[in-house]
């Protein structure tokens, strides 16, 4: 029997849990301890392999000091839902990048640069290096 692929919403919520945990500098083990789980279970939540129940998501939100809605920001819409009335979600690659250690470190360092002109020059430089016009 073939393995079932994780639901895109479960993957998104898991990646947001991972991103927030990393923003706080918290290990999977520490989050697992706070939840009464193993780090492997936290890993499965973060990958979207296992779904996070409503009460568990509320518990995670409290530990990670965010509202439950944080985990759904930018979530993919199910086909046939939304009716085009809501704001388009941010591209998945942005959330994927921010969920990495490098993405988070780069973002934190970039936001510590006080000069908006210098930040703009850095963006211009990176775009030139990447070959973006």
Average pLDDT over residues 91-101: 74
pLDDT band (50, 70, 90) for residue 54 = very high
Kindly list the distances between the CA atom of residue 108 and the CA atoms of 2, 21, 24, 70, in Å, as whole numbers in the listed order.
Answer: 40, 14, 12, 18
Fold of 1-77+90-99: 434 Repressor (Amino-terminal Domain) (1.10.260)
Q: What is the location of CATH 1.10.260.40 in the chain?
A: 1-77+90-99
Q: Shortest CA distance to 68 belongs to which of 6, 20, 11, 8?
A: 20
| Model pLDDT, residue 85 | 44
- CA-atom Rg of the chain in angstroms: 17
pLDDT band (50, 70, 90) for residue 104 = confident
SS3 129: helix
């Amino acid at each position: 029997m073939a393995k079932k692929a994780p639901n895109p919403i479960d993957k998104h919520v898991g990646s947001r849990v991972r991103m927030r945990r990393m923003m706080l500098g918290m290990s999977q083990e520490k989050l697992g301890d706070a939840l009464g789980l193993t780090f492997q279970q936290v890993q499965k939540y973060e990958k979207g392999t296992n779904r996070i129940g409503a009460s568990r998501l509320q518990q995670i939100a409290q530990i990670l000091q965010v509202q439950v809605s944080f985990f759904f920001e930018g979530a993919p819409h199910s086909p046939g839902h939304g009716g085009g009335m809501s704001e388009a979600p941010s591209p998945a690659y942005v959330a994927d990048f921010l969920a990495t250690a490098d993405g988070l470190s780069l973002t934190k360092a970039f936001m510590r640069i006080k000069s908006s002109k210098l930040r703009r020059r850095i963006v211009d430089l990176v775009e030139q290096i990447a070959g973006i016009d």
